[in-house]
Amino acid sequence: MKILVIEDDRATADYLTKGLREAGHVVDHADNGRDGLFLAAAEPYDALVVDRMLPGRDGLSVLEVLRATGNSTPALILSALGSVDDRVKGLRAGADDYLTKPFAFAELLARLEVLQRRGKAGGPQTKLQVADLEMDLLARTVKRAGRDVDLLPREFQLLEYLMRNAGHVVTRTMLLENVWDYHFDPQTNVIDVHIARLRQKIDKDHPVPLIQTVRGAGYVLRAPD
C-alpha cells in the first residue's frame, strides 16, 4: 500500500513510518494538517493515517475537506481522545476507522489491511435497501414502495442506523450512543418517541411493518420472510 501519515509528533511519526516501511508499504509523511491535506488531495494513496490534533489544520477538518471534494481514500484517525463522543465525531467527519493512543502497531497494521480489503470490494456505500425501503445517503432521500418519505434529520440518522444493522437487534444503548452521540439516562423516552414517529412515516399504510420491537432487548428493522 501507499500510505500517507499525517502526524506532528516526531517520535510517533518515525515509529509509524519505520514500521509501515518494514511491513513493505510505501510511506509519505506530513507534519501538519495543511501539508497533509495538500498531499492527500494531490497524490493517490491507498490509505491515510491522520492524527486528530494537528497544527495548521486539525485532522477532522482535513477529512471533512477531502470528503467534500469527493476524495474517498480510506482514513484511520489516531487520537488520544477516546470517548464515544470523540470517536463518533471522527467517524462522522469522514474517518473509516478510529484508533486511540497509545496503540499497538500490530493492531494499526491490521486495521489498515481491513480498510484496504474494503476499498478493493468497492467504493463507499451510498445506498441502503431493505425490502421495498430505499435510502440514498448522498441525496438524503428515503422511499418506501417507490413513494417519498419525508424525514427530519434525526429520523434519517435513526433509520440509517437501523438499516445498516438490518436483521440484527439494536439496543437502546446502541441507539443512544450512535444516533444521539450522548449518554442519556436509560429511562429517557426519546428513543420511544422517535421510533413511534418513524413507524408512522415508514410503516403506516403498509401491510407488513419493517420496524419491530424485540421485548426486553431493543428494535430490529427486518425484511418480511
**Does residue 213 share a domain with residue 141?**
yes
Cα separations in angstroms, 86 against 53, 64, 68: 12, 15, 20
CATH number at residue 154: 1.10.10.10
Give the pLDDT confidence score for residue 127 in this predicted structure. Answer: 82
Give the pLDDT confidence score for residue 47 in this predicted structure. Answer: 92
**Does residue 160 share a domain with residue 108?**
no
**Does residue 133 share a domain with residue 117?**
no
Give the pLDDT confidence score for residue 71 in this predicted structure. Answer: 86
Give the pLDDT confidence score for residue 184 in this predicted structure. Answer: 53
Cell of 117: 480489503
CATH number at residue 60: 3.40.50.2300
Q: What is the pTM of this model?
A: 0.55
**Does residue 76 share a domain with residue 16?**
yes
Q: How far apart are CA 79 and CA 75, in angstroms?
A: 13
- Which domain, by its residues, includes 105? 2-121
| Beta-sheet strands, E only, within the chain | 2-6, 26-30, 47-51, 75-79, 97-100, 127-130, 133-136, 141-144, 147-149, 211-214, 218-221
Q: Identify the domain boundary among 63, 90, 121.
A: 121
**Does residue 110 share a domain with residue 42?**
yes
- pLDDT digit string (tens) for the chain, length 225 residues: 899 999 999 999 999 999 999 888 899 999 999 999 999 988 889 899 999 999 989 999 999 999 888 888 999 999 888 888 888 888 888 899 999 988 899 999 998 988 887 665 455 567 888 889 999 887 889 999 999 999 999 999 999 989 988 888 888 888 887 787 665 555 668 889 999 999 999 999 898 899 999 988 889 999 886
| 212 bridge partner residues | 220
Q: Identify the domain boundary among 121, 141, 174.
A: 121
CB atoms within 10 A of CB 23: 15
**Does residue 172 share a domain with residue 90?**
no
Give pLDDT tens digits for 134-184. 998 878 899 999 999 999 999 999 999 899 888 888 888 888 877 876 655
Going by DSSP bridges, is the β-strand pair 97-100/75-79 parallel, antiparallel, or unpaired?
parallel
